[in-house]
Structure 1
Amino acid sequence: MSRCQCGSSQAYRFCCQPLHCGDDHASSPGQLMRSRYCAFVEEKAEYLLATHHPQFRGSLTVKQLADSCHESDFVALQIVDAPVATTEQGEVEFKAWYRQGSEIMALWERSRFQKLDDHWHYCDGDIRPPLKLGRNDPCPCGSGKKAKKCCL
């Protein structure tokens, strides 16, 4: 049984897979954020587009998202802040750690979410400057090893 890529301790089939398959819907912005990160790792571009608020999609396509998923080499997701959402909107601050060449970097964003037809959708976010992980820093994958001995 494989562990879900979103960072939970649950198996994928009990965690994000029901959301990706449409059998269930995210109950909070935090759960949607985790499932969207997992969708990037699992290359679920259709899910990413379906959970992106239509008013914020612009000309975004499934192909563009599929290309982005395929080009990404994610290591781990770290939720920095997920304040309690209102009934209609919420925010989640996260760091999505990924490999870029011989470095591990983080996409650091504070994302905004909104309910539409009783389902949470990603709207947009404020991206902070990228973070670089030092070789002797703990690896964000959770192994407990230094980055240079793990995911680098």
Structure 2
Amino acid sequence: MTTPAPTQPCPCGRLGPNKKPLTLAQCCGRYVGHLDDTPAPDAEALMRSRYTAHVLCDARYIVDTWYIATRPSASPEFELEPGTKWLALEVRDHRVIDADHAEVEFVARYRVAGRGVRLHERSRFVREDGRWYYVDGDTR
């Protein structure tokens, strides 16, 4: 997989105020690979950056942003499915429940082993010590 240049559109598809795609550097590139310095500011930004981490094959970021209580037990060996091609992300809803809890509904499309897959999920997030984490989600 070729990593997109920081000036290319961010894989998450977020648009700026001018309705043009934000670059990787302006968007998720600030968080992926920079978790200690720059955590995502809200649940939607974290969800988008986790999608981008899938595109970039950055399993470490995905594990590190997963809430410890719900993280897969094999997290040190967590691997992404080889040959997965992520195609698009659509954020449908971002609901703030309170200062430390939020939900994000999204649809992610990808292809694996030549088969198209559509993942529709309402994900739950929690903020702990000022940092957002993915908890779990319900798929549709």
Q: CA deviation at 1:123?
A: 0.3
Q: Residues 78-128 of structure 1: CA distance to partner in whole angstroms, max 9, x if unpaired?
A: 111112342110000111101245543211111000011110000000011
Residue 124 of structure 2 is matched in structure 1 by 112
The one-letter code matched in structure 2 to 1:108 is H
Instruction: Pick the structure with more helix per residue.
Output: 1
Task: List alignment gaps of at least 5 residues for structure 2.
Answer: 1-6, 15-20
2:32 maps to 1:42:
no
Query: How do 1:89-104 and structure 2 match up within 5 A?
Result: 89-104=101-116
Residue 4 of structure 1 is matched in structure 2 by 10
Question: How many residue pairs align between the two structures?
Answer: 126
The one-letter code matched in structure 2 to 1:4 is C
Name the CA distance, whole Å, in 1 between partners of 2:109 and 2:76.
23
Instruction: Pick the structure with more strand per residue.
Output: 2
RMSD of aligned C-alpha atoms?
A: 1.6
2:82 maps to 1:76:
no
Name the CA distance, whole Å, in 1 between partners of 2:78 and 2:83.
11
Residue 18 of structure 2 is matched in structure 1 by none
Calculate percent identity across the aligned residue pairs.
Answer: 35
Name the CA distance, whole Å, in 2 between partners of 1:107 and 1:77.
10
Q: Which portions of structure 1, spanning 4 or more consecutive aligned residues, are displaced by more than 6 angstroms?
A: none
The one-letter code matched in structure 2 to 1:3 is P
Name the CA distance, whole Å, in 2 between partners of 1:79 and 1:41.
16
Give the direction of change, closer, same or farther, for the CA distance of 1:101–1:63 in structure 2 (3 Å limit). same
Greater C-alpha radius of gyration: 1
Residue 4 of structure 2 is matched in structure 1 by none
Name the CA distance, whole Å, in 2 between partners of 1:60 and 1:49.
10
Q: CA deviation at 1:58?
A: 3.7
Q: 2:40 aligned to 3, 26, 34, which one?
A: 26
